[in-house]
Every structure is written in C-alpha cells, then in structure tokens.
A and B are shown apart, each in its own frame.
Chain A
C-alpha cells in the first residue's frame, strides 16, 4: 500500500505545531498563545485538496481544544467556518504565500480570540480593556504563527514531493538546468 504523503505531512506538521504551541508559555507581558495549529489548518485550506483540508481543520481544532481545556468542537467549528471563507477568497486572490499567510493568520487569530471567548463565556463582561488588550496581542502572535506555519508547511510539501518544482518553458526543471 502506497503511503499517502499528505497524511504523513499533515500528522507531522500538526504534531510539531501542537508541541510548540503548548510549550511556548504565555507571560504577563505577552498573554496570548502563538496559534501554530491555526496556521497549519489555514495553509491546508489554501494548498491542499478539499477533504485533506477539512480533516486537517478538524484535527487542528481538536488538538487546540483538547490541550487547551476548551469544550471540544469549539475550535473545529471555528476552523471549518474559516475554511469556507478562505476557499471563497482563494478563488479571487488568496494564495499560500508567506506574506498572505502572515496577514491571514493574524486576522484569523483575532477572530479566533473573539470566537473562543464568546464560546466559553463565563458571564463576565466581554468588551473590557483586558479583552481589547488580548486582541491587540493576537495580531503579532498570528503574524509570527503565519510566517512560521506557512514556511514550514511549504517546505514540508516540497521536501515530501507533494508540490513539484515549476518546470521552465522547455519542460526542464529549474533545478536541473545547470547539469
């Protein structure tokens, strides 16, 4: 049976994203987590086939909830909604590039903070100075996650052979032109 490289790459990238996201601690001076799992799910939404991207979104969300003590389905639902929006925008302008990835994950991080806080609402006032501060911190955290996530996922796709190098006009790979 041939190994599905998408499966292998997805499992490995999700695992390391979860490990890093879990290990990097929040501090009083930077009180938000860097959402590597969200970045991996958004990369999959832009660069992978439909069923792969949906499964990665559910796995990334499930890991975020299971390791973060959130109600399961909170983040998977968010990532599935985001997946729909991203696929719509993908038809118009979005690509899985580093810059667009950074901006996309930054926006998604802010939306995820709002979504999660509303989902686990504890009856305390939502629109407080503290929440606004968290949303502000979510932007650089999302940009960092987007940069790292899109770079590593793109590299993993190229190394595993999922993404083939672009051929020049004469049908010869760019990497083979100097042989």
Chain B
C-alpha cells in the first residue's frame, strides 16, 4: 500500500513537471545523458584513435608530413588575411563604417543525431551555454553551413540543420558578374519539393534537395551554381557556402523563381562542427 502511494506521488510529480517545467525537463534529460555520450566521444578519441595509430604508423607519418605542409601554406594565407584585415579596418574607418561584431569560432563534437525521436533533422553538440554558445548561433564546417543552434543547456546544444523542413536561411546565388546584380532568395529546408519523390533524385542524393525561393524570375541560375548566405538574416555571416543549384523553375504564381539546391554538407557524416559565437552581440529569441 505504501509502495503504491509512492508511485502515485511519483506519477503526479512527473506529470506536473512535464506540464509546468518544460525547459527544466529538457535540460535535465540532456544533462543526465551528457557524461555518458561524451564518454563515447572520449573513448573514440583517446582509445580508438591510438589503437588505429598502432596499426597504421606509416600512413600516419605520411599524413603528418602532408599536414605540416598544409600548416605552412595556411600560415602564409593567414598572414595575407591579416594584412587584408588591417586594410579593411583602415578603409572602414575612412568611410565611418561601424566595426564588425567580434566573433569567435569554437569546435564542438557531435554527441547524437536526431535525438530520440528523429522527427526533426537535428544534431546535439557537446558544448553549451557554459562554453558561450547561445540560441541562434550559426554552425558550420569547412564545406559549408550545417545549421543554427535551436536550444542550449549548460553542456549541450541542439542544432537545427538547414535540411530540416522548418529551417529558413537568407541566401543569394553567386552570379556571373556584370549585368546581373545580386540575386537573393530564402532557402527552405527539404521535404516537400515537387521533385523530392523523383526516384532519380532519390538515387543520386541522400536527402531531399533544399528549395531556394523568391529568386528574381528573369535570372535562371545554371546547375552547380554556388548558393551562399546573404548575411541579411542577421544569423549567418555573409558568404558561407550553403549548397549548389540543381535546377530551377518558375514558381506556380509566376512571380518568382524557385531553385532546388543540393546541400554542400553531408549531414550524416558530420562528426565535428564549428559554432560562431558573437561576443557581446544580440541573438535571435
């Protein structure tokens, strides 16, 4: 009888927590799993990588030499970028432009994909508010944009991928240059494109293509044209690669053009990402 009473109280308390303490329940669940999910990453990095290294010493040596050359090349590029940065700062000062917000890239390993339900296309990262990550921060890899932070707990953060049907990113198409101007649109996550169920596309691409909508109707982008962030949405900086145009057609209302876009990043293969934290800047709610 006493045991039954305990369970009734537990049930009432649990239901109350789910109804009145939503954010707390989400944070608590993620934080409870965090050490164990992080342990898996630690095992992969500290143990598995070393075990692999024992069996592939020669390959590691050649890779190390390649990486050294790459580091030397990047040092030159960094020096050039620094000189260019100084020049940009000087020109901005001459034109009276406000200085760009201070930013900081930080690497974060991927803890899990899709959560427990896999209804949304999301990633969970092993860094959270304690590391300075905030809701709305952009997430990228060298190949392009991955998504944006949609929720944060002290040690973890959830990322909504650009392939999620709820994702919207302000983008523009790289144009051939003179006479075209800037062609901007809004990139929608995949899911309901008219071509998404086309078996040919299903064979060629592992995810539904994204949709770049509201493009100028006169400009027909060529296949494989690069799509980059326009910087207008205040979330992503300008110029990050998002994907490549597959094809385009007029929207049903005939007022604008819509393009199918192949994401630049293979989301299933992402193990580590970079989060852009703006120091002192404001964030999307």
Contact = CB atoms under 8 A, between A and B. Distances in A.
B43 interface: no
A28 B117 contact: no
Interface in A113-154: 116-117, 120, 122, 124-125, 128-130
Interface in B202-239: 206-207
Interface residues of A, number: 46
Interface in A1-45: 4, 6-7, 15, 18-19, 21-23, 25-28, 31-33, 37
Given A23-B40, A63-B29, A73-B19, A28 B268 contact: yes
How many interface residues does chain B have, given as a range? 35 or more
A156 B136 CA distance: 43
A22 B19 contact: no
A94 B79 CA distance: 72
A93 interface: no
A58 B158 contact: no
A27 B10 CA distance: 36
Nearest to A35: B116
Contacts of A76: 15, 18
A62 interface: yes
B256 interface: no
Interface stretch (A47-55, A97-105, A168-176): A47-55
B37 interface: yes
B93 interface: no
Given A4-B3, A51-B4, A55-B7, A68 B15 contact: no
A9 to B, nearest CB: 13
A59 B113 CA distance: 21
B206 A69 contact: no
A32 B115 CA distance: 11
A70 B117 contact: yes
B103 interface: no
B109 interface: no
B166 A25 contact: no
A159 interface: no
B166 A27 contact: no
27 contacts: A4-B3, A7-B6, A18-B116, A19-B33, A19-B36, A21-B116, A25-B114, A28-B206, A32-B118, A33-B117, A52-B7, A54-B11, A63-B116, A64-B116, A65-B18, A66-B30, A67-B26, A67-B29, A67-B33, A67-B115, A68-B118, A69-B119, A69-B150, A72-B18, A72-B25, A116-B119, A117-B119
Interface of A: 4, 6-7, 15, 18-19, 21-23, 25-28, 31-33, 37, 49, 51-52, 54-55, 58-59, 62-70, 72-73, 75-76, 116-117, 120, 122, 124-125, 128-130
